[in-house]
Amino acid sequence: MALTGKSAVVTGAAMGIGKALSELLLENGAKVALLDVNDSAGQSLMESLNQQHGAGSALFLKCDVESEEQLKAAFQKTVETFGGIDILCNNAGIMNEGTWEKTVSINLMGVIRATYIALEYMNKLNGGKGGVIVMTASMAGLGPFITCPVYTATKSGVVGFTRAMAGASEVSGYGIRFNALCPAFVQTDLIANASANLGPFSHLAEVAGQIKEKLGVISVSEVAEGLMELVTDETKNGEALMILTKGKTYMQFPSLSK
Ligand SMILES: NC(=O)C1=CN([C@@H]2O[C@H](COP(=O)(O)OP(=O)(O)OC[C@H]3O[C@@H](n4cnc5c(N)ncnc54)[C@H](O)[C@@H]3O)[C@@H](O)[C@H]2O)C=CC1
Ligand SMILES: CCCCCC(=O)/C=C/C=C\C/C=C\C/C=C\CCCC(=O)O
């Protein structure tokens, strides 16, 4: 899929990985709706991206992925502004084992919520043009990250949802591919603030630090390169792309159908 003239929605776009995904989509010619709860960071990112890529190429919309109403309004505004949606990046996420219900609500329910709303516009069976939906999952979703059990559960759920939706889409003819990015540790605020957010597992902060030390930390731009691969390579559907300091690899899963 070539990105020139395509329209993308990125959740959690104001900072960290979402910001890097948005920047690379714009550099490759897409228009991007930046959805985030952080009004000031979102507004200033939109201004700087519009200066770099041309007025009207980025649109900031204040939107909490916990709110069905805000998501519906943001998708509607994106379609009115850009004429449709070709790409959705379900990226917004938190790690907080203390407020675990919120972690589930944002990381897993927020992904399902945004995906179902996007389908109303993207699904070829509803008159949409099809496209691609990419989730920012995590390596935690592929193996247990023992210091963050609820975070692990949400990311495992995201990987399962992605793969099942990929199959459902293929069999039903939605014309939409579904893939997941599974990075290990990435240099963002989420990691910088993590030790204070371990809740009942705060006694395992040192263990988390050791795992981080062993795996190393990658940059947001390495994750964005992974997104480009999953978006532009039309053979990729139902994939979980692991992104580690040693490089990128596709996860091999057992097949239920063969
Ligand atoms: N940083 C890391 O090591 C890794 C992060 N991830 C995942 O990457 C995604 C992005 O994380 P980071 O960039 O690291 O975090 P970050 O904390 O740097 O940025 C997250 C962005 O999401 C926004 N956000 C938070 N809650 C939101 C909500 N309810 N609705 C809309 N926007 C919301 C924040 O305002 C912020 O702009 C998350 O899903 C995270 O789980 C995955 C693997 C590794
Ligand atoms: C192996 C799974 C990698 C998962 C990365 C991810 O998706 C999110 C991680 C979230 C939090 C990390 C938890 C603790 C932070 C690490 C270290 C804290 C200790 C202090 C330090 O050494 O920096």
What's the CATH code of the domain at 162?
3.40.50.720
**What is the span of the domain harbouring residue 203?**
7-243
CA-closest candidate to residue 150, choices 184, 183, 191, 104: 104
How many domains are there within the chain?
Answer: 1
- Residue 22 domain-assigned (yes or no): yes
What's the chain's average pLDDT? Answer: 98
Could you tell me which residues come within 8 angstroms of residue 15 by beta carbon, excluding any fewer than 6 positions away?
36, 38, 41, 188, 189
User: Which pTM was predicted?
Assistant: 0.98
Q: Return left, alpha or beta for 168; rule: phi > 0 is left, psi -120 to 50 is alpha, else beta.
A: alpha
Residue 71 banded pLDDT, cuts 50, 70, 90: very high
pLDDT at res. 30: 98
CA of 97 to the centre of ligand 1 (A): 15
- Residue 249 domain-assigned (yes or no): no
CA of 100 to the centre of ligand 1 (A): 15
- Residue 63 domain-assigned (yes or no): yes
pLDDT at res. 258: 59
With a pLDDT cut of 70, the percent of the chain lying above it is 100
Residue 1 banded pLDDT, cuts 50, 70, 90: confident
Helix 16-27 and helix 39-53: axis angle, to 10°? Answer: 20
pLDDT at res. 256: 77
- Name the residue of 91, 138, 197 whose CB sits within 8 Å of the most ligand 2 atoms, as the mutation to test its pocket: 138
CA of 209 to the centre of ligand 2 (A): 7
- Residue 256 domain-assigned (yes or no): no
pLDDT at res. 49: 98
pLDDT tens per residue across span 174-193: 999 999 999 999 999 999 99
With a pLDDT cut of 90, the percent of the chain lying above it is 98
The mean per-residue pLDDT over the stretch 19-41 comes to 98
- Atom 24 in ligand 1: residue holding the nearest Cα: 12
- Residue 250 domain-assigned (yes or no): no
